[in-house]
């Protein structure tokens, strides 16, 4: 929403200032100039980028105008979820979560975290990492390196649409000049005609330069920067999850593992220790341990009393 308001402010300030100087708004309505600048920019995108990057650009543009997907509450929820997973592993052993990481949609561990289940990227990152612990073919240090490689690969994937948008932004002023030059060519053809007609054609030519510069610095450039910021926040979330999982793999207790994670969150997104403690005490739901021949409800009541 803030991005949309910002774009509106840019256009309101530019057009409002133009009107205050007694400018004719109709002069700015030049479909031909918009076609030259916008069409050429679209062609550049198609030439320079594969279809996957182009699709990522459109998704990124839409995401830039939505509320940020991650905030302090998001980090708190994910850390609480990991606490539940670690506490459950501590009770039953790492091998007992094999079915949970293989099919998280049917898992009791993740049933209370629909946001996690919808987030395919984060879900795969967490489950694949826990799967390596279940298989038992890696040490904590090796798991750390493996997760770091995954984070770096995802960072490069998120950066490609950002780089493409920045390239478009850099090209727009040049395309505006192209539109202006074409307008000057048309103006030269009209030399000798009525002064009013010549003036209108000169004005139309200058609108091309205006559009290129405005779209570069007022729309495409800021959207690319915002998309990059969203990608950095996504990468930070994966980094926080990595810190917690690696800490637990090295032998830290569940609460200490999530505290390691909390300390790694950027200050502006970091929940307080009290918030995390309250969230764990009040909202953490650790599935009861399954025992053969004993109803699960009975086991749950017994564990709740012992807690």
Q: What is the pLDDT along the chain (307 residues), one digit of tens a residue?
A: 678 888 889 889 988 998 888 888 888 888 888 899 999 999 999 998 999 999 989 988 888 888 888 888 999 999 999 999 999 999 988 888 989 999 998 888 898 899 999 989 999 999 999 999 888 877 889 999 999 999 999 999 999 999 999 999 999 999 999 988 888 888 887 777 777 777 788 888 888 899 999 999 999 999 999 999 999 999 999 999 999 999 999 999 999 999 999 999 999 889 999 999 999 988 888 888 765 544 444 444 544 444 4
Q: What is the pLDDT of residue 96?
A: 87
Rounded Cα distance, 94 and 86, in Å = 9
pLDDT of res. 300: 47
Please tell me the predicted confidence (pLDDT) of residue 142. Answer: 92
DSSP state letter for 109: S
Query: Which pLDDT score is estimated for 82?
Result: 94
Residue 268: C-alpha distances to residues 25, 204, 232, 237, 264 (Å): 43, 47, 13, 13, 12
Element (H, E) at 21: none
Q: What is the pLDDT of residue 156?
A: 92
164 and 48 Cβ atoms separated by less than 8 Å: yes
**Which sequence spans correspond to the domains of the chain?**
41-177+205-288
**Surface-to-core class of residue 171, CB atoms within 10 Å of its CB (0-12 exposed, 13-18 middle, 19+ buried):** buried
User: What pLDDT shows up at residue 306?
Assistant: 43
* 276 vs 243: CA distance, rounded Å: 16
What would the two tokens of residue 270 be? 């970091």
Q: Which of 253, 250, 238 is nearest to 140 (CA)?
A: 250
Residue 68: what pLDDT?
83
HEC string of 246-291 equals HHHHCCCCHHHHHHHHHHCCCCCCCCCHHHHHHHHHHHCCCCCCCC
**What is the rounded CA–CA span in Å between residue 258 and residue 82?**
7
* Coil, strand or helix at 195: helix
The pLDDT of residue 290 is: 64
């Amino acid at each position: 929403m803030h991005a949309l308001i910002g774009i509106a402010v840019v256009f309101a300030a530019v057009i409002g200032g133009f009107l205050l100087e007694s400018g004719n708004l109709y002069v700015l309505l030049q479909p031909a100039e918009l076609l030259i600048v916008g069409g050429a920019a679209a062609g550049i995108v198609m030439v320079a980028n594969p279809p996957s990057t182009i699709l990522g650009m459109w998704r990124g543009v839409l995401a830039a105008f939505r509320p940020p997907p991650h905030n302090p509450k998001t980090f708190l929820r994910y850390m609480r979820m990991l606490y539940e997973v670690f506490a459950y592993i501590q009770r039953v052993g790492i091998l007992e979560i094999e079915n949970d990481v293989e099919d998280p949609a049917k898992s009791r561990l993740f049933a209370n975290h629909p946001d996690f289940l919808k987030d395919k990227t984060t879900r795969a990152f967490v489950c694949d990492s826990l799967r390596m612990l279940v298989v038992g073919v890696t040490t904590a240090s090796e798991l750390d390196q493996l997760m770091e490689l995954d984070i770096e690969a995802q960072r490069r994937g998120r950066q490609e649409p950002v780089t493409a948008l920045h390239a478009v932004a850099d090209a727009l002023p040049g395309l505006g000049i192209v539109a202006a030059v074409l307008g000057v060519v048309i103006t030269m053809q009209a030399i000798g005609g009525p002064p009013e007609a010549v003036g209108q054609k000169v004005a139309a030519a200058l609108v091309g330069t205006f559009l290129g510069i405005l779209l570069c610095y007022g729309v495409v450039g800021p959207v690319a920067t915002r998309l990059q910021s969203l990608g950095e926040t996504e990468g930070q979330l994966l980094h926080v999850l990595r810190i917690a999982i690696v800490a637990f793999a090295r032998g830290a207790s569940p609460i200490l593992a999530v505290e390691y994670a909390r300390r790694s969150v950027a200050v502006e997104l970091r929940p307080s220790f009290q918030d995390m403690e309250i969230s764990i005490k009040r909202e953490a739901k650790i599935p009861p341990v399954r025992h053969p021949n004993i109803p699960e409800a009975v086991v749950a009541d017994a564990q709740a009393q012992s807690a």
